Structure 1
């Protein structure tokens, strides 16, 4: 990517982050945050990183530049308009490559250097048909080698996941987390690994970490419903019922017949309603019992600060089903 392209991507990320923070009406903020994470991961950029700001940030907001560009476009005779169009034409001839393509090209250039040193191109002139044919042959060979190596990594990652699942069943949760982490390092593009590690974090009541992993999972695979349901459980366990409802609703959209999700969604909705009623009434009681009990028959008292009593929640069949279905 050229420097201009990098700065453009960074400006877009900054703009989307600002929109997300303002949460305007009609914008699905959580989906927008997932999009920002996807773009940041694809281009290896983080708008909060000070080094990235120094390297890519520009002086003016993207919205101002866009408005200025529209004004210039309306003036066909403007001298600078021609310069801008020329720059855009240049950018079109050098399209942005994905992160994976960039990594492969970097490896390929090193591979070509090694082949040149070994005499692979001896007797050919750069730019000649023979030379270009050998370059393409080298590219095909490297792709084949990369595919084989990638297959080995994927198989190893699956082994680590299976080991993690076995350890989690034995309640060796910390060790299970280590195995899931190893699987992620081998293949960071598998949503199941993040979701399984989230399940392990949940069992340790490290719910913030579970939420982080669930967000990573849906960044990799936005249609992975189990990650949304586990995100809902983590939010619920922190007493963040509104966010739990939102996560469960997304899970329901992806798996509408899952009874565990449907039950958990209803529980979260009722707990959210109780919390709203408490905050509105100022009496500290839920609306359905009048004595500070939860909706499930008085077995799920809330502690101060809105954090639920997990021992009571575990008696609920919806939550039990969620726990039983932790491992993918």
Structure 2
């Protein structure tokens, strides 16, 4: 449930922020606070639990920024002819002249200067001019991707980083830009993939290696919180032997026709609370013992007797039957090691 809890925490944070910044009318605050509490309890998310918050937080992204990226991406995908127009423009791009290349380098230098002074909007403009003059240089796209990321426009940064890789698939820095943008949008799987692809080209790159470790540490598999723990075998209570089984049943009697110690069948609650019996039942389920039990002639005879109104046999009768004793011995001896 971890991915769902991440979404729920983001929703709760968004609602709390809406209360604090006045987006929600004062008359609605109390109702919204109740709703927040109900949502948290339903998904077992406590926004005041710092340990859980650190595990589930998608910062620096927020629900509004993630949604904004989605809307922009969908708008691009829904624009008629957008992809074909881009492809046509790329294929029709002329080979830059030496003058264009020199001018592009000049704009790149300006962009780098703007980046140093944190004038990111101006840097984007300068890199765009460089790209217009020489769209065959991956550095310009990569640098503009860095500028976009600096303005938290990570969707555009992804587009530019991918374009840089398209222009030159061996340009290692573009993979770092791509991984960083995906990571900033909490898409840790895509981030890890980008860093990993870069490391295939430059295995000793410390930035890519660090980025990959950070991304992989944040990946949470869907359903992690819903996994059912496997039944332990190494420390499990051993199943009883045939003789021990008889003694145990005799000490558990009370339900189905006998007082404690009187040889009657055990009551269900005693059976479920006995660790040895539960261990044996688990082994039977895991090694095919249940199928063998139901096909045993002695069990079939016992079930026929019950159905005909003869009642359940006593433990003395059960354990005196050699077939049932043999079956009990098999369950008691085998199972866990198979």
Q: Could you tell me the TM-score, scaled by structure 2's length?
A: 0.40
Q: Which has the higher contact order (CA 8 A, sep 6+)?
A: 2
Larger Rg: 2
Q: Could you tell me the TM-score, scaled by structure 1's length?
A: 0.41
